[in-house]
A and B are shown apart, each in its own frame.
Chain A
Amino acid sequence: MLTFIVRRLGQSLLVLLVAGAVAFSMFRFVGDPIDNMLGQERTLEDVERLRVQLGLDQPFPVQYFKYLQEAVQGNFGLSYRQGREVSEIFLERAPATLELAAISATFAVLLGIALGVYTAIRRDGFVANLIMSASLIGVSLPTFLIGILLIYLFSVELGWLPSFGRGDVVNLGWWNTGLLTESGLKALILPSIALGLYQMTLIMRLVRSEMLEVLRQDYIRFARARGLSERTINFRHALKNTMVPVVTIIGLQLGAIIAFAIITETVFQWPGLGLLFINAIQFVDIPVMAAYLMMISVMFVLINLIVDILYAFIDPRLRVSSK
């Protein structure tokens, strides 16, 4: 078990180093930093002085190490476009994305598992079939079209919900929350459905197929023969054993939610990290792009690590044969 965790940790560190190298190379090779900082009017001495001052005359590994050192301390430099500390902008934007991701993940997991169990138990029922057909469309609809469709239905036609922005936010120290005001909560509904729908259908289909697989097994038939209630069989015996693959997928989908938030945030003009990243790409704002890459790698690596370790805890067989 311990070797398993250590090996996973080593792998995660490798991923982070690679991501760091990519992020650093963006600075180093996309344009010349000196060009970016000095204008047209400059002397060769100025260029040379700045090159030494910034440490750009040193070998690549030394520069890379220094960059990592700064990055670990949360220093990602100044945004080319806004002229402010990248870390400051990130802190300001993070609550919006985290709240959106948390709400849509909860929505996706709860509804996904519930519908998955339902469609598995009533496998030939009319409603179950209807849900399954609808989910097929849900999987093939691109995320941004779902968002546009929701806006059209609930904002343009019905006028019930706002189509963009976060509504009013309440300031709790450095955390701006939209969860405490009515307009903030209303503004959350459409984006979190748009973001969570795809993951929900995915979880639902997975839970359903795993449930069907498990319900076919002998121990379920035996439980039924023992005269246990359907409820106990379905939830205590069957659902529990479907959880191994489901937990993995849910974990990985959490990462996907953060990534797909980029799309949802653009559709709904949600002032979070994803929108910041898209704008950074459009204006080639390298420091913001690099910092986003670092942040998202840390997040993905952490999620993967936790999922792997959880996996070993849930399924005892993996503890032995984990190679």
Chain B
Amino acid sequence: MTDLTPTDQTSADDQGPAPSRLHQALDSDLAYSFRRSPVAMVSAAVSLTLILAAVFAPLFATTNPFDPASLNLMNGFTPPLQPNAFTGESFAMGTDDQGRDVYSTILYGMRISLFVGAAAVLFAMALGIVLGLLAGYLGGWVETLIMRVADIQLTFPSILVAMLIFGIAKGVTPVEYRDQMAIWVLILAIGLSDWVQFARVVRGATLVEKSKDYVDAARLIGRRAFPIMLRHILPNVLSPVLVIATISLALAIIAEATLSFLGVGAPPTQPSLGTLIRIGQGFLFSGEWWILFFPASTLLALALSVNLLGDWLRDALNPRLR
């Protein structure tokens, strides 16, 4: 399952000078498949643009939507690309009810969406890898316990699990910290709802790797279980993990948006894309379509491009799955 990873593989032929790392990377199967797939290139370009725009939001944004001093209530409800009736200012994507530039709020909102999504996936990945390695390598009651918990959690849709964890965590945090903690609670909730995928895949791959000669060899020279798991098995089970992580990122971004949209996620003081859509929905009936339309399109572009990238990665790393 791992024989196509570009990293961690030394080239078999020792004749001639060894190609440089960069050259090796550009020449790999992965890069070849990338150049051959227009879908992969477009979605990579879109997601990279959106991620960069979010990371460097202060550079690209025209105003800071969280700075009350930069807002002018008179600018409220300005349609896109039309000058405001009172101030004469014009905004590419219009303004919301408080006169905030929609374009700038999207950039800052995407930052929160991406941060929560990425952090949740990293958390789920770390948890899943550790538990999957333990279950696969140690076996016995450790495996039974971990996999039983995974089975039970799989019975429920992950969005429901995330809602429940969010609800419980919200109940535990004192009222005065709830808004500050909301982002972290959200990461915890989405991360905990998503670790099972990683654990199952890592366990499966570990079971395969465990029986290979190099693991026996490592055991023979007296390495302990934990170094073997981390230094020998882990690098060889990473490529399916990478695929799941990419697809999980898209799912986590959608999960975050859904929770925030339902009002059980990012607080109005730190609006994510989902919160912006929630706010925008209120203006749908009064005709201010842009307050909803632009955040929703951004979310869609982000989720779709990351998703397609994940699909491509899965096919490229594992042609047998196609």
- Where the two chains meet, the residues of B that have a C-beta atom closer than 8 Å to any C-beta of A are 148, 152, 155-157, 159-160, 163-164, 166-168, 170-172, 250, 254, 257-258, 261-264, 277, 281, 284-285, 289, 292, 296, 299-300, 303-304, 307
Q: Which of A37-45, A82-90, A136-144 contacts B (4 or more CB under 8 A)?
A: A136-144
Q: From B262, B281, B296, give the contact of A263 (CB < 8 A).
A: B262
Smallest CB separation, A252 vs chain B (Å): 9
Residues A30 and B164 in contact, CB atoms below 8 Å apart: no
A129-162 vs B, CB cutoff 8 Å, 1 = contact: the mask equals 0000000000011111100100110001000000
Indicate if A15 sits at the interface (CB-CB under 8 A).
Answer: yes
Residues B254 and A280 in contact, CB atoms below 8 Å apart: no
Indicate if A278 sits at the interface (CB-CB under 8 A).
Answer: yes
Indicate if A126 sits at the interface (CB-CB under 8 A).
Answer: no
Within the assembled complex, what's the spacing in Å between the Cα atoms of A297 and B160?
11
**Which A residues are CB-close (under 8 A) to B304?**
140
**Which B residues are CB-close (under 8 A) to A76?**
none
**Which B residues are CB-close (under 8 A) to A289?**
164, 167-168
Q: Which of A58-66, A175-183, A224-232, A253-261 contacts B (4 or more CB under 8 A)?
A: A253-261
Could you list 21 A-B pairs, sorted by A, with CB under 8 Å? A15-B155, A26-B168, A30-B172, A31-B171, A141-B300, A144-B257, A144-B258, A144-B277, A145-B300, A151-B284, A152-B284, A260-B157, A263-B159, A263-B258, A278-B262, A280-B167, A281-B264, A286-B171, A293-B164, A296-B160, A300-B155
6 further A-B contacts with Cβ under 8 Å, apart from A145-B299, A152-B284, A260-B159, are A30-B168, A143-B258, A144-B261, A259-B157, A278-B163, A301-B155
Within the assembled complex, what's the spacing in Å between the Cα atoms of A152 and B257?
19
Residues B171 and A26 in contact, CB atoms below 8 Å apart: yes
Indicate if A248 sits at the interface (CB-CB under 8 A).
Answer: no
Indicate if A18 sits at the interface (CB-CB under 8 A).
Answer: yes
Indicate if A304 sits at the interface (CB-CB under 8 A).
Answer: yes
Q: From A31, A148, A286, give the contact of B296 (CB < 8 A).
A: A148
Indicate if A282 sits at the interface (CB-CB under 8 A).
Answer: yes
Smallest CB separation, A24 vs chain B (Å): 12
Within the assembled complex, what's the spacing in Å between the Cα atoms of A12 and B82?
60
Q: How many A-B residue pairs have CB under 8 A?
A: 94
**Which A residues are CB-close (under 8 A) to B307?**
140
Residues A15 and B262 in contact, CB atoms below 8 Å apart: no
**Which B residues are CB-close (under 8 A) to A18?**
152
Smallest CB separation, A108 vs chain B (Å): 15
Within the assembled complex, what's the spacing in Å between the Cα atoms of A267 and B166?
20
Classify the secondary structure of A's interface with B: helix
Q: From A142, A297, A300, give the contact of B303 (CB < 8 A).
A: A142
Residues A256 and B157 in contact, CB atoms below 8 Å apart: yes
Q: From B157, B264, B292, give the contact of A255 (CB < 8 A).
A: B157
Indicate if A266 sits at the interface (CB-CB under 8 A).
Answer: yes
Residues A262 and B257 in contact, CB atoms below 8 Å apart: no
**Which B residues are CB-close (under 8 A) to A141?**
300
Within the assembled complex, what's the spacing in Å between the Cα atoms of A256 and B192?
18
Smallest CB separation, B176 vs chain A (Å): 14
Indicate if A29 sits at the interface (CB-CB under 8 A).
Answer: yes
Indicate if A284 sits at the interface (CB-CB under 8 A).
Answer: yes
**Which A residues are CB-close (under 8 A) to B261?**
144, 263, 266
Within the assembled complex, what's the spacing in Å between the Cα atoms of A259 and B159?
8
**Which A residues are CB-close (under 8 A) to B155?**
15, 255, 300-301, 304
- Where the two chains meet, the residues of A that have a C-beta atom closer than 8 Å to any C-beta of B are 14-15, 18, 22, 26, 29-31, 140-145, 148, 151-152, 156, 163, 255-256, 259-260, 262-263, 266-267, 277-278, 280-282, 284, 286, 289, 293, 296-297, 300-301, 304
Candidate in A142, A255, A304 with the most chain B CB atoms within 10 angstroms: A142
Within the assembled complex, what's the spacing in Å between the Cα atoms of A280 and B262?
12
Residues B258 and A30 in contact, CB atoms below 8 Å apart: no
Q: Which 6 A-B pairs have the closest CB atoms?
A: A30-B171, A281-B167, A259-B157, A259-B160, A284-B171, A142-B254
**Which A residues are CB-close (under 8 A) to B263?**
266, 278, 282
Task: Evaluate whether A259 and B156 lie within 8 angstroms (CB atoms) in the complex, with A144-B258, A148-B281, A282-B263 already known.
Answer: yes
Smallest CB separation, A8 vs chain B (Å): 12
Residues B171 and A262 in contact, CB atoms below 8 Å apart: no
**Which A residues are CB-close (under 8 A) to B257?**
142, 144
Within the assembled complex, what's the spacing in Å between the Cα atoms of A260 and B162?
13
When C-beta atoms are compared, the residue in chain B nearest to A284 turns out to be B171
**Which B residues are CB-close (under 8 A) to A140?**
250, 300, 303-304, 307
Residues B170 and A284 in contact, CB atoms below 8 Å apart: yes
Task: Evaluate whether A148 and B284 lie within 8 angstroms (CB atoms) in the complex, with A262-B163, A281-B170, A300-B155 already known.
Answer: yes
**Which B residues are CB-close (under 8 A) to A267?**
281
Smallest CB separation, A31 vs chain B (Å): 7
Residues B156 and A148 in contact, CB atoms below 8 Å apart: no
Residues B300 and A284 in contact, CB atoms below 8 Å apart: no
Smallest CB separation, A136 vs chain B (Å): 9
Within the assembled complex, what's the spacing in Å between the Cα atoms of A160 and B262?
26
**Which A residues are CB-close (under 8 A) to B170?**
281, 284
Smallest CB separation, A230 vs chain B (Å): 29
Within the assembled complex, what's the spacing in Å between the Cα atoms of A277 and B259?
13
**Which B residues are CB-close (under 8 A) to A256?**
157
Within the assembled complex, what's the spacing in Å between the Cα atoms of A286 and B168?
8
Q: From B152, B163, B167, B299, give the contact of A142 (CB < 8 A).
A: B299
